Amino acid sequence: MPIRPGSLRDKTDQDVVALAKEGEEEAYRELIRRYERPVFSLIFRMVRNRELAEDLSQETFVKVLNAVQSYRPEFKFSSWVFKIANNAAIDHIRKRELDTLSLEGSPHADTPELIEATALQISERGESQLDEVANRELGGTIERAIEVLRPEYRACIMLRHVEGRTYEEIAEILNLPLGTVKTYIHRARNELRILLREVKDE
Amino acid sequence: MTPWPAKHLTADDLDAFHSEALTKEMQLHLETCEDCRYLVAADRELVELLGRLPVLEPQAGFVDRVMTRVTIAEPVPVPVLSFPRLTRSRVGGLLAAAAGICLSVAWSATNRAALDGWLIAAQSTAVDSVTALAQATMANLAGQSWYESARQIVGSPLRTAVVVAASGVLYLTGIVALRRLITPSGPVSNARA
- Cβ-nearest to B54 among A66, A69, A139: A139
Are residue B137 and residue B116 in the same domain, yes or no? yes
Q: What is the pLDDT of residues B87-142, one digit of tens each?
A: 889 999 999 999 999 999 999 889 888 888 999 999 999 999 999 999 999 889 88
- Cβ-nearest to B56 among A44, A58, A142: A44
Asked if B191 has any chain A CB less than 8 Å from its own CB, the reply is: no
Domains within chain A, CATH numbers bracketed: 1-101 (1.10.1740.10), 104-202 (1.10.10.10)
Count CB-CB contacts under 10 A for residue A193.
17
- Cβ-nearest to B49 among A44, A122, A138: A138
A-chain CB neighbours of B47 within 8 Å are 161, 189
**How far off is chain B from A57, nearest CA to CA, in Å?**
9
Region of poorest pLDDT, from A143-147, A162-166, B166-170, B184-188: B184-188
Q: What is the pLDDT of residue A95?
A: 83
Asked if A41 has any chain B CB less than 8 Å from its own CB, the reply is: yes
Region of poorest pLDDT, from A92-96, A140-144, A185-189, B18-22: B18-22
Q: What is the pLDDT of residues A34-43, one digit of tens each?
A: 999 999 999 9
**How far off is chain A from B15, nearest CA to CA, in Å?**
9
Contact of B56 with A48, CB cutoff 8 Å:
no
**How far off is chain B from A182, nearest CA to CA, in Å?**
9
Percent of all residues in chain A with a pLDDT value above 90, rounded to a whole number? 50
Predicted TM-score (pTM) of this structure: 0.59
Amino acid identity for residue B80 in this structure? V
Indicate which of A37, A84, A127, A181 best probes the interface with B, i.e. most B CBs within 10 Å of its own CB.
Answer: A37
Are residue B48 and residue B1 in the same domain, yes or no? yes
Instruction: Please indicate, yes or no, if residue B64 is contained in any of the structural domains.
Output: no
C-alpha triplet B114, B117, B122: angle, nearest 5°: 130
Query: Is the Cβ pair A193, B59 closer than 8 Å?
Result: no
Instruction: Please indicate, yes or no, if residue B85 is contained in any of the structural domains.
Output: no
Task: Please give the average per-residue pLDDT across B42-58, as a whole number.
Answer: 89
Instruction: Please indicate, yes or no, if residue B115 is contained in any of the structural domains.
Output: yes
User: What does each C-alpha distance from A85 to A115, A191, B24, B62 come to in angstroms?
Assistant: 27, 24, 42, 15
Are residue B1 and residue B33 in the same domain, yes or no? yes
The domain tally of chain B equals 3
* SS3 (DSSP) at A121: strand
Asked if A58 has any chain B CB less than 8 Å from its own CB, the reply is: yes
- Give the mean pLDDT of chain B: 83
Query: Is the Cβ pair B66, A186 closer than 8 Å?
Result: no
Are residue B139 and residue B159 in the same domain, yes or no? no
Task: Please give the average per-residue pLDDT across A45-59, as a whole number.
Answer: 93
Q: What is the pLDDT of residue B160?
A: 85
- Give the mean pLDDT of chain A: 81
Q: Is the pLDDT at A106 greater than 50, yes or no? A: no
Domain coverage including residue B119? 100-143
Instruction: Please indicate, yes or no, if residue B131 is contained in any of the structural domains.
Output: yes
